[in-house]
Amino acid sequence: MTNKTPKSSQKNLKNPKKAAAILKAAEYIFARKGFQTATISDIAKKAKVSEATIYEYFSSKEELLFAIPAEIIQQYQEKNREILPYIHGAANKLRFLIHRHLALYEDNPDYANVVMLILKGNPNFLKTEAYRVVQSSARNYIQVLEEGIESNEFRPDLDPYVIRAMIWGSIEHLVTRKSLLGKPENLTSLTDTLFNTLFAGIRATAEQPPVNINVHMTRSE
């Protein structure tokens, strides 16, 4: 059985550079106007193409919205996979992933606004190919946490999925506050605070040796 390329991907293969320009324009417009208020006309003007050209690549405004994360996350994931094998130790790898995760949103504020303020509340996004790309990046955390448990760097009773949820929840909360309130100003400056707090709870600790108390009782006459 052969895998069929989704229709939207087939369209984008016509001219990848033009498709990327349209996506960047859409990201800019959605981040400032929101999904409901933004129009294809707004995006076409920003991308300097006709509305008809946009429909050659994306069948609807929603499909255009859902396609935004795919390219950014694909590049982000490829870089992670390239660097992770050269980092020694699960703890160092975990810190790297946290820093990269924060930097992803700090370096792409329009993308952060689209993801946190629009996509997170859209259940249809969970059914898309782009969402599966996002989920693939989440598996990096699971693999690193499992590596740490196996190497005895992390506690053996950890649930990697719960720890990942704690990390992602903390990061997404910080990014949402920045998108709405402009604070914290520097996300990556919080890497060590987040990592050190987490690491204090998940690191393996040497078992304390048992304390033997010998009590000698004598009867006094």
pLDDT at 85 over 60: yes
Residue 121 CB coordination number (10 Å): 9
Q: Give residue-wise pLDDT tens across range 45-63.
A: 999 999 999 999 999 999 9
Examine residue 196 and state whether it is found in any structural domain, yes or no. yes
Examine residue 175 and state whether it is found in any structural domain, yes or no. yes
Examine residue 27 and state whether it is found in any structural domain, yes or no. no
Q: Give residue-wise pLDDT tens across range 188-209.
A: 999 999 999 999 999 998 654 4
In this prediction, residue 206 carries a pLDDT of 64
Structure tokens at 170: 């903390």
- Return the CATH number at 113: 1.10.357.10
Examine residue 4 and state whether it is found in any structural domain, yes or no. no
pLDDT at 133 over 70: yes
Examine residue 90 and state whether it is found in any structural domain, yes or no. yes
In this prediction, residue 134 carries a pLDDT of 83
Examine residue 54 and state whether it is found in any structural domain, yes or no. no
The mean per-residue pLDDT over the stretch 29-34 comes to: 96
Count of structural domains, the chain: 1
Region of 62 on the Ramachandran plot (φ > 0 left; ψ -120 to 50 alpha; else beta)? alpha
Between 194 and 220, where is the model more confident? 194
The residue range of the domain holding 120 is: 62-202
Percent of the chain at pLDDT above 90? 71
